[in-house]
Structure 1
Amino acid sequence: MTDPILFTLAVLTLLGTPGPTNTLLATSGATVGVQQSARLLVGELAGYLIAVGAIRIVLGPVIHSYPLVGIALKAAVVLYLVWTAIKLWRRNAGLTHSQAGIGMQAVFVTTLLNPKALIFSLSIIPSNGPGIGWYVLGFALLVPLVGFAWILVGRAIGAAAGDKHAGAVRKVASVALVGFAGVIAASVLG
C-alpha cells in the first residue's frame, strides 16, 4: 500500500479495532489510570516493530512455504491469550508491577503475538521501495497514538465503573481475551 493517505487510514483502522493489546491497554487505563498506563506504549511499539520485522524477514517466507508453521503460530497465540486471560481473571497474578496494573511484559508479548502484525507486515506496510522507511516511521508514530486513545477509553470506562468495580473491569477484559482467542482458534480450524 503505497498511497500515504490510504496507508494511514489502514493503519488507524486496524490499530483502532478491538484486539488483545487494546484490551490490555484499556484495562490498565481503567484500573490504574492514564499516567501509569502510558509506559505500556513502549511495550506495544516494541512488540509491533519486532513482530513486523520478524514476519517480513523470516516468518512470512517460512509460512508461505510451510503453512503448518502458520497454524502452529496461531495455536501458540491462542494458548498465550487464554493464559493471559486466566492471569487477568485472577487479579493479574504474574502480569503486574503493582497490585492492579498490567505489566509491560504482558503488553509486549501480547503485541508480539498479535495477529494484526501479520496484516501490517504482509499487507499494509509496503514491501519495498525508496520510501519504505517513511512508512515504518509513520507506523511507529501511529501505534502509540492509537494505544494512548485506548488507554483513555479504558480510563473513561474505569471512571464510569468506579474504583470498587476494577475487578469486574478485569474480568470483562479477561472474557474479551478468551473471545479473541476463540476467533483465532476458529481461523485455525477452518
Structure 2
Amino acid sequence: MTDALPFIAAVLALLATPGPTNTLMAAAGAQRGVGQSLVLLVGELGGYFIAITLWIELVGAVGASQPLVPVAAKFIAAAFLLWSAWKLWADAGHADLAQRGITLGRVFVTTLINPKALVFAFAIFPHVGFAERLPYLGVFAVLVIATAIGWMALGMVAARSSAGLLTSSRVERITAVALAVFATLLVVQTVQGLL
C-alpha cells in the first residue's frame, strides 16, 4: 500500500481495534491516568517498529521457504499473552504499580508479539526497502501515539465514571481475561490456518 490516504486509513482502522496492547494502554489509563501512562508509548513504538521490521525482513524471507516459522512465532506470541494474563491475574492488587501489571517492558513485549504487527508487515506496509519504509514508519508512529493516548483516555474516563467499580485490582483482572481471550483467538486462528 503505497498511497498515503489508504495507508493511514488502514493503519488507523487496525490500531483502533481492541487488542493486547490497546488493552494494556486502557488499563494503564484507568490505573494512572494519561499523563503518567505516556512513558508506555516508548514500549509500544519500539515493539511495533522492531516487530514490523523483523516480520518483513527476516520472518517473511525465512517463512517463504520454511512455512512453519511464522506458525511457531504465533504460538510463542500466544504463550506470552497467556503468561501475561496469568501474571496480571495473580498479582492483581498485591504489589505497587511499579512492580506489577502494566510496565514499559510488558507493553514492549506484548506489542512485539502482537498479531497486529504481522498484519501491518504483510498487508499494510508497502514492500519496499528499509530506507523507503522510513517515511511510512514516521506516519505510523504519529498514528500509534494518537491511538494509544485515545485508549489511555478511554480507560481513565471509564475508571472515573465507574463510581469505584473499576478498582486497580479489577482493571488488572479484566485486562488478564482480555489477554487470555486474545491468546486463545490467536491459537485458534493459527490452528485453523494449518488445517
Q: Note whether the superposition's TM-score is higher than 0.5.
A: yes
Identify the residue that residue 141 of structure 2 maps to in structure 1.
Answer: 140
CA contact 2:27–2:155 (8 Å) conserved in 1: yes
2:112 partner amino acid: L
The alpha carbon displacement at 1:160 in A equals 2.0
- Give the Cα separation in 2 of the matches to 1:19 and 1:96: 25
Change in Cα spacing, 1:132 to 1:73, as seen in structure 2 (3 Å) is: closer
- TM-score, normalised to structure 2, is 0.90
Equivalent residues in 2 for 1:39-188, closer than 5 Å: 39-91=39-91, 98=98, 102-128=102-128, 132-161=133-162, 162=164, 165-188=167-190
What is the Cα deviation at residue 166 of structure 1?
A: 2.1
How many residues are aligned here?
190
Deviation for aligned residue 1:2: 1.3
The one-letter code matched in structure 2 to 1:186 is: V
Contact kept in structure 2, 1:32 and 1:100, CA below 8 Å: no
TM-score (normalizing by structure 1): 0.92
Which amino acid counterpart does residue 181 of structure 1 have in structure 2?
A
Find the aligned partners of 1:107 and 1:113 in 2 and give their Cα distance. Answer: 10
Of 96-105 and 20-29, more deviation after overlay is shown by: 96-105
Report % sequence identity: 42
Note the C-alpha offset of 1:133: 2.8
- Unpaired segments ≥5 residues, structure 2: none
- With over 3 angstroms needed to count, the CA separation of the structure-2 counterparts of 1:141 and 1:96, relative to structure 1, is farther
Change in 2 beyond 3 A, CA 1:164/1:100: farther
Q: Report the secondary structure of 1:2's partner residue.
A: coil
**What is the alpha-carbon distance in structure 2 between the residues aligned to residue 125 and residue 134 of structure 1?**
11
Moved over 6 A (4+): 93-96
**Per-residue displacement from partner, 1:125-180 (whole Å, max 9, x unpaired)?**
11127853321211121111111111111111111233762211211111111110
Q: 1:71, CA displacement in angstroms?
A: 1.3
Deviation at 1:59, TM superposition (A): 0.8
Structural RMSD (CA): 2.2
TM-aligned CA distance change 1:181 to 1:98, over 3 Å: same
Pair 1:35-2:9 in alignment: no
